[in-house]
Amino acid sequence: MRADNQSFLGGPPRDFILLGVSGKPWLELPLFVVLLVSYVLATLGNIAIILVSQLDPELHSPMYFFLSHPFFLDLCYTTTTVPQMLVNLGSSKKTISYRGCTVQYVVFHWLGGTECIVQAAMAQDHYMTICKPLQNAFIMHCPLFQQPVAVAWLSGFYNSLVQVVLMVQLPLCEQQVLDRLFCEVSAMIKLSCADTTVNDATLAMLVPMVVALFALVPMVLILLSYSFIVLVVLKIQSSKARHKAVGTCSSHLAVVSLFYLPAIYMYMQPPSSYSQEQGKFISLFYSIITPTLNPFIYTLRNKDVKRALRKLLAKLWRLCRR
């Protein structure tokens, strides 16, 4: 390979080739159909949850304020990666521009870091709602409950910024081939013509720190919150109140498991310990499958959300009949 004597900061760089599943052409059509259906379901489901949490006055509480953010993040997640994957799977030209690739991995890591913090904030809100309802009633009328979300977005942006700094210093080579479904920092560093020892060492040190900060610490906080919630729920006399608390918390725990576990599995072990195909499947899982399932998990387990959705659909039906 020949170096082009240009960094990611200078000159018009060449396009990247995303191999995807080109080694298994028979898989392209089924994967295209699965991604298309999943993307439509994820988009409609996440938009529906966001709309009902904003339009229904009975859902104007810290719990549903926090709830709207993960669904907005999931909507952005899928839009950042899936359309490009569909284009590549549906055509013989499997390329993405440098700018498109840069935007993709910057936004993807920003959203991922943000959602990790938001999920922990949601668990804390559930703890306050169930274990300290009087204090939560005061917080509900106070703008302070919005601060964790602001911290989450800033933290996610900082996480993305640090990883981008690793990339902008590297010179491009003549051929840029990524054996991935979408752009990822770890794969792009391997494509540089320059000596990436420092970058690899920095990434090897940075990744465990980022995973600990954005995944392990929030998971510990979430588990602690739900440990206290379980103790309180066991003391609730009303079966209706107990069922409502269990339904809300079990939905969130299911979403948290789908979000955290694949990411921790992928980033906490060295890349050599899993195959390229395995890495593609895991990245596909948390980039499209999880955002598609989340709205259905919350809808099936949360009576307030189901009621609000029925009201919204009834209004839309009346408008369509006019």
Domain residue ranges in the chain:
3-321
Q: What is the pLDDT of residues 221-273, one digit of tens each?
A: 888 888 888 888 777 777 776 777 777 777 778 888 887 777 777 766 655 55
Q: How close are the terminal C-alpha atoms of the chain, in Å?
A: 65
Query: 194 CB contacts (<8 Å, ≥6 apart)?
Result: 3, 170, 171
| CATH code reported for the domain at 3-321 | 1.20.1070.10
Q: What is the pLDDT of residues 176-188, one digit of tens each?
A: 777 777 877 767 7
Phi and psi (nearest 5°) for 10? -135, 150
Phi and psi (nearest 5°) for 274? -135, 155
How confident is the prediction along the chain (322 residues), in pLDDT tens digits per residue? Answer: 344 434 444 444 567 777 777 677 778 888 889 899 999 998 988 888 888 877 777 766 666 777 788 888 888 888 988 888 888 888 777 888 878 888 888 888 888 888 888 888 888 877 777 777 666 555 555 555 677 778 888 888 887 887 777 676 666 665 577 777 787 776 776 666 666 566 566 666 666 676 677 777 888 888 888 888 888 877 777 777 677 777 777 777 888 888 777 777 776 665 555 556 666 777 787 788 888 888 888 776 677 777 777 777 777 777 777 7
Dmax over CA atoms of the chain, in Å, equals 72
**Cα–Cα distance, 307 to 25 (Å, whole number):** 44
pLDDT the model gives residue 8:
42
pLDDT the model gives residue 271:
55
pTM of this structure: 0.78
